[in-house]
């Protein structure tokens, strides 16, 4: 099996190299924003979409023009890749996989990529990497790079610079993969409840740092914007955000690694996290209801990192020779796993489930995990058509009970 994997390390650049890194990231951001503005102006004029090849000719003109001659100081391949990123963003928008491309802001996600492996040299023994127009840069070698180098991405976060080395290599599937299957119900009070009755405590990385974050945000708000003291306060806020993200990512990696190592089949709900965490504020004409309560729920949902959990679990299951299946989430917490009776009254509280027909009693999240696993088996055995018919029949029983 061919595996693409990225190895991320912290760079240790000197002052001059840091200035070059900021300038190259700024140049890529400028090219991306200028190309996006050109695409929007072109669309308003009724012209066709400008593809990457045609847009690359504009980049050549910008590099050779009198207005932006400083673009020549940056390596050309990262600038070209910035145009490819914009082209990909538009393709994702056309395919309804993402929102409309937005302009990039300084200090938010600064990065650039070297796509040509022939221009990159890696000396892991001396903990250094060679990048065009930057030369040799040392990095913190926390683990060995495995595979053939494909590309390198340089990024900035929390005042530090990082290098992500993507590799490609052939790996063999595990000789003795796990043979068990499990259903997972994601929640807030319990991060993940498994169909075997076990469950994982939530990390709540944002909730644990919320008070401290608010204190430093208030300090930042009381400073003169863009002053030296304001920049120091902003650095403290960014540091806390980085700690929150790192703690959440560490928790998710450990959880997904454990699950992928111990199970061959994993069934989860096909949750639309973006829709679940939308604001309930509404508009001035149609104000929302329970806005404060919904806002707290949205924070709790996003704090769990359900989307990242699914992404990590997906590729790790493939690495271990297992499979991940997402099943429709309809009524998984309202259906009795014993008699399959569906009713909203079955779930008496957020945690308590008692079937009104057969009086089966269990924790609501455990019931959801059991139903997810069973629904996953039905999906594998009968296909999408049989499963969709089953899901459509469930609300009928709910309506009959309420009448």
So which residues are the catalytic ones? 185, 269, 365
Phi then psi for 192, rounded to 5 degrees? -145, 125
Q: In what order do the strands lie in the sheet with 265-269?
A: 199-200, 192-194, 181-186, 265-269, 323-327
Strand partners, 325: 267
Which residue in 346, 395, 109 sits closest to 241, CA to CA?
109
Q: Is 13 helix (H, G, I), strand (E, B) or coil?
A: coil
CA R_g for the chain: 25
Q: Which two tokens stand for residue 297?
A: 């729920």
d(CA 258, CA 199): 13
Which residue in 110, 225, 153, 108 sits closest to 8, CA to CA?
153
Whole-Å CA distances, 373 to 124, 311, 366, 393: 45, 19, 11, 19
Instruction: Report the length, in residues, of the chain.
Output: 403
**Is 208 within 8 Å of 251 (Cβ atoms)?**
no
Q: Which two tokens stand for residue 278?
A: 């939308």
Helix-, strand-, coil-residue percentages of the chain, each rounded to 5:
50, 20, 30
Q: What is the DSSP string of 317-375?
A: HHHTT-EEEEE--TTTTTB-TTT--B-GGGB-SSSEEE-TTT--EEEHHHHHHHHHHHH
């Amino acid at each position: 099996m061919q595996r693409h994997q990225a190895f991320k390390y912290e760079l240790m650049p000197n002052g001059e190299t840091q200035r070059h890194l900021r300038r190259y990231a700024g140049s890529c951001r400028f090219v991306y924003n200028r190309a996006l503005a050109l695409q929007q102006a072109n669309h308003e004029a009724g012209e066709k979409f400008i593809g990457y090849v045609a847009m690359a000719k504009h980049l050549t003109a910008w590099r050779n023009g009198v207005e932006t001659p400083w673009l020549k100081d940056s390596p050309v391949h990262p600038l070209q890749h910035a145009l490819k990123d914009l082209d990909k963003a538009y393709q994702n928008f056309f395919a309804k996989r993402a929102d409309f491309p937005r302009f990039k802001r300084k200090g938010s996600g600064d990065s650039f990529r070297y796509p040509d492996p022939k221009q990159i040299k890696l000396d892991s023994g001396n903990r250094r990497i060679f990048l065009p127009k930057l030369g040799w840069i040392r990095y913190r070698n926390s683990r060995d790079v495995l595979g053939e180098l494909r590309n390198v991405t340089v990024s900035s976060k929390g005042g530090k610079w990082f290098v992500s080395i993507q590799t490609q290599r052939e790996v063999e599937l595990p000789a003795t993969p796990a043979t068990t299957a499990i259903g997972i119900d994601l929640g807030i009070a319990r991060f993940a409840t498994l169909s075997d009755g076990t469950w994982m405590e939530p990390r709540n990385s944002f909730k644990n740092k919320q008070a401290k974050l608010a204190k430093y945000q208030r300090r930042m708000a009381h400073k003169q914007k863009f002053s030296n003291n304001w920049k120091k306060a902003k650095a403290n806020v960014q540091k806390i955000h980085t700690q929150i993200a790192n703690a959440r990512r560490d928790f998710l990696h450990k959880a997904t690694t454990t699950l992928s190592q111990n199970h061959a089949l994993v069934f989860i709900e096909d949750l639309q996290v973006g829709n679940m965490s939308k604001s309930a504020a509404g508009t001035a004409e149609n104000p929302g209801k329970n806005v404060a309560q919904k806002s707290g729920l949205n924070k709790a949902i996003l704090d769990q990192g359900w989307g990242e959990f699914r992404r990590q679990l997906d590729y790790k299951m493939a690495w271990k020779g297992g499979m991940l299946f997402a099943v429709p989430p309809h009524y998984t917490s309202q259906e009795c796993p014993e008699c399959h009776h569906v009713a909203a009254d079955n779930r008496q509280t957020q945690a308590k489930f008692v079937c009104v027909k057969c009086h089966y009693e269990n924790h609501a999240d455990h019931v959801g995990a059991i139903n997810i696993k069973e629904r996953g088996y039905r999906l594998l055995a009968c296909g999408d058509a049989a499963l969709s018919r089953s899901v459509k029949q469930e609300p009928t029983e709910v309506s009959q009970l309420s009448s």
